[in-house]
Amino acid sequence: MNPADWHLPDRLARLGDLAYNLWWSWHPEARALFKGVDRTRWKTGNHNPVRLIKETLPERWQQLAKDAAFLRHYDAVISAFDAYLSDQHTWYRTAYPEKREPIAYFSAEFGVHNSLPIYSGGLGILAGDHCKAASDLGLPLIGVGFMYPQGYVHQKVGIEGWQQNIYDHIDWKVAPVEPVLRPNGERMVLNVSLGSWSLYLSVFQVICGRIKLYLMDTNVEGNTPADREVSGRLYGGDQTTRLRQEIVLGMGGVRVLRELGIEPAVMHINEGHAAFAFLERLRELVAGGQSFSAALEALQTQAVFTTHTPVPAGHDVFPESLILDYFRDYWKQLGIAEDEFLELGRFGEREGWNMTALAMRLAGRRNGVSQRHGEVSRAMWNSLWPDRREEQVPVAHVTNGVHLATWVNQSMSNLLNRYLGPQWLAKQDDPRLWAKIDDIPDNELWAVHQYCRRELINLVRQKVRRRWMEDRVDPSQVLAGGALLDPEALTIGFARRFASYKRAGLIFSDIERLRKLLLDPWRPVQILFAGKSHPADDVGKALIQQVYHLAKDPSLGGHIAFIEDYDMHVARYFVQGCDLWLNNPLPPLEACGTSGQKAAVNGVPNLSILDGWWVEGYSHHNGWAISEGAQLASDHRDAEDAESLYTLLEEKIVPLFYEHDLHDAPQGWLEVMRESIKTVAPVFCANRMVKDYTREMYLPGVAKEPERMAGARR
C-alpha cells in the first residue's frame, strides 16, 4: 500500500505495508523504526505511522535511505514482519492442521491501537486483544464491526469539574484503513433492507497481523441523512438509530461476509449488539429449504455468544412495536408466526425485545467472562431454561485475559527477555516459565518499576502542561491534573469508565482518615484517577466532579489528581507506572475487569474487591482483597468496604511499600510484585483466553471437512 502522494523511496517502500498492518503496534522494534523516522512527528501525530509517512518530506526520506543504521533496523523489522506473516508453525496450525474454516468475530468496538479510535472501553479493548492473540496463535479469525467516522469522544474537564465531550472526526487520509473493492475496482457497497427500510453500507478493512477486520460505514450516497449517521458514533443516537446500528452490525455483517465469499464455521458475537447476525443466518438456512427447527439446530452448532455485563442497563431492550416496524414479515421468511418471533426476544417481566435474551436463545454455546460472572449469568438467565436448576443453565465461562505484548512495559519486557528467555511471549501461558521471575535481582526489578513510575508522572505533567499552554486553563486545573505529583511517592491508580457501580468515590468515605494517609510526611501516598463517563451519563459525570473537587482541594496538597482523556495510550502508562491498582466495584457487578490484569503483569499488585477475575486471581500473596469473606449482598457494603480499604492501606500496604533495605529496594514489596507477575501472567494472558475459546467454544463448530456448509445458503 503506497498512495501516490507519498514520497517513500524504493529502498524503504515496505514501510507502507508495515504502516497498514497494525502488527507494528505490538512489536516494539517496529514502533522504534517509525519513531526513528521523525521523533517529533511521531509524537505529535498520535503515534500513527500512516500520518507519519504521509507528512514526512522527501529530503528526510533521502537522508534515511542513506543512513546505514536506519537501514539495518528497517531490514530487521521487515524480515521479522515477513516471518510472522508466513509462519507455518503457529499454535493453531500445529494443533489442528486439518481445520481451516474461518471464525467470524462480531463486535461493536475494536480497541487495537489509539490511531484507530473505534473503541470506548473494556469491551472494545478486549476485542482488540482477542484479535491480536488470535493472530499470534494462527487462528483463522475475521473481525466484523463498524467504522465510526465522526465520533471518538475526547474528554476535557472544565474548571467546575464537569466532563466536556469533544467529538473527533476521523481523518480518512491517515487512518490505517483501506476501502474494500470489488474485483472490478469499484468500492464494495451493499444493501440491507428490512420491511420498507433500506440502507447502503460500504466496507473498509483493517489488517491486524494475520487477521482482517471488516468495518462497515453507512455514510454512503443514496442513504437518507439520518441513515448516513447510523455508523457515525459509537453508541450514539436514540433508540431507532441504535436499533438500525445493531441491524447493520448483525445482518449487514453477515452480508459483508457473503459478499466476500467467506463462509465462517463459527459466528462469535461479542456482547448482544450483534445478535441479529444469528437471525440472519437462520433466515439463510430456512431459505435453503430447512424447517425452522432444523435451521435453529444447524445455527446452534455455529453460534457462540459471550455476555459481558450483569448490570441490567447494560442489555439493549427495544420496544416490540419498534421491532415490528422493521421485522414486519421477517418471521414469514423464518417460517414462524409473529408471536413465536417476538418470543425470541422476550425476557422476564420486562416488556420488550431483549438482545441478550435473543443471543442466549439462538447461540449454541454461551459464556460469561469470569468464573464468578458465569455463576451470576446462570442465575440471571435461568428463566430461559425454566426446567433446569441454576447450576445446569447452559452458560459457561471463559475468563478474559490481556495481550501481553500490548500491555507489558518495554523495559520490563527486556528484563523478561533476559531472565525468562527471548521466547517468553510464545510460552506465556506456561506457569513453569514464570517461576524464573525469582531469578531477577531485586535492584533490577525495582529500577525498571521506578522508571515506569517516572514515565507515568512525566506523561501526566506533559498533559497538563499542554492544557496550560494551549487552552489557558486556570492554574487550579493544572494542579488538579497532577502538576504536584511526587515521582517517589506510593502511587495508587484508579482508572476505568466512570460508571456508578465502580464506586470511584469509595476511598473518599472518610476524608480525614484519607488525608492522614496521603499527607504522611515520611510515607506519602498519592492517587491518580482517570476515566470517561458516557456522554449521556450525568451520574458518572457527577462522580468525576467529586474527584475533581478533591483534586483541587489545597488541603490535600496535590496528592489526588484527575488525568483527562483516558484511552489506550494513557492506560499503558497507568498500568505500568502505578505502584498499586485499586478496584472497588459493587459486587457482583464487575463481570471480569481487565485493567487489573494489565497492572498485575507489570508487577503492579491489585488492591481489589473479590469480584470478577480477582476471585480467581487472588492468591493471598499477590495483592490484597478488600472485605475478604464479606456477604455478597449487604446493606452496609459501602461502609464495610471503605473500612477494609483504609485498614489494608494503613496496616499492610503503606508500611510494606516503605520498608526499604540498605540498598533502597523494598524487599517485601518486591515479593508481592513477583507473585503478582508470576501468578497472573500465565493465567490471565490473552493466549490462554483464545486457546480456551478455541477448544471450548469454536472447535465444536469447526468440521474436519468444509463440506458441512454446502447447500446451506440463501
Ligand X SMILES: *Cc1c(COP(=O)(O)O)cnc(C)c1O
Kindly list the residues in this chain that would bind ligand X in the complex (CB under 6 A). Answer: 121-122, 125, 496, 566-568, 571, 593-595, 598
- Minimal distance, residue 403 CB to ligand X, in Å: 11
Residue 472 φ then ψ, to 5°: 50, 45
Nearer to ligand X, 234 or 247 (CB): 234
Nearer to ligand X, 571 or 677 (CB): 571
Q: What are the strands, taking DSSP E only, across 63-125?
A: 103-107
Nearer to ligand X, 241 or 370 (CB): 370
Nearer to ligand X, 285 or 571 (CB): 571
Residue 560 φ then ψ, to 5°: -125, 135
Q: Which of 296, 301, 248 is nearest to 274 (CA)?
A: 248
Cα end-to-end span (Å), the chain? 35
Asked if 134 and 401 touch (Cβ cutoff 8 Å), the reply is no
The CA–CA distances, whole Å, from 710 to 77, 264, 293, 333, 666 equal 42, 12, 19, 21, 64
- Minimal distance, residue 594 CB to ligand X, in Å: 4
- Minimal distance, residue 223 CB to ligand X, in Å: 32
Nearer to ligand X, 163 or 595 (CB): 595
Nearer to ligand X, 205 or 608 (CB): 608
Q: CA torsion, points 660, 663, 665, 666, in degrees to nearest 10?
A: -20
Nearer to ligand X, 21 or 576 (CB): 576
- Minimal distance, residue 622 CB to ligand X, in Å: 17
Burial zone of 528 (CB within 10 Å; 0-12 exposed, 13-18 middle, 19+ buried): buried
Cα separation of 342 and 344, whole Å?
5
Placement of cell 458475537 in the chain:
269
Pairing of strands 197-208, 189-194: antiparallel
Q: C-alpha 582: how far from its chain's center?
A: 19
Nearer to ligand X, 248 or 604 (CB): 604
**Strand order through the sheet with 623-626:** 560-563, 525-530, 490-495, 580-583, 606-609, 623-626
- Minimal distance, residue 615 CB to ligand X, in Å: 14
Q: For residue 202, what is the enclosing H or E element?
A: strand 197-208
Cα separation of 495 and 457, whole Å?
15
- Minimal distance, residue 502 CB to ligand X, in Å: 7
- Minimal distance, residue 176 CB to ligand X, in Å: 19
Asked if 10 and 2 touch (Cβ cutoff 8 Å), the reply is no
- Minimal distance, residue 112 CB to ligand X, in Å: 12
- Minimal distance, residue 626 CB to ligand X, in Å: 15
Asked if 16 and 135 touch (Cβ cutoff 8 Å), the reply is no
- Minimal distance, residue 570 CB to ligand X, in Å: 7
Q: Which of 542, 562, 543 is nearest to 552 (CA)?
A: 562
Nearer to ligand X, 250 or 401 (CB): 401
Nearer to ligand X, 125 or 560 (CB): 125
Cα angle for residues 598, 601, 603 (degrees, 5° grid): 115
Nearer to ligand X, 219 or 576 (CB): 576
- Minimal distance, residue 76 CB to ligand X, in Å: 29
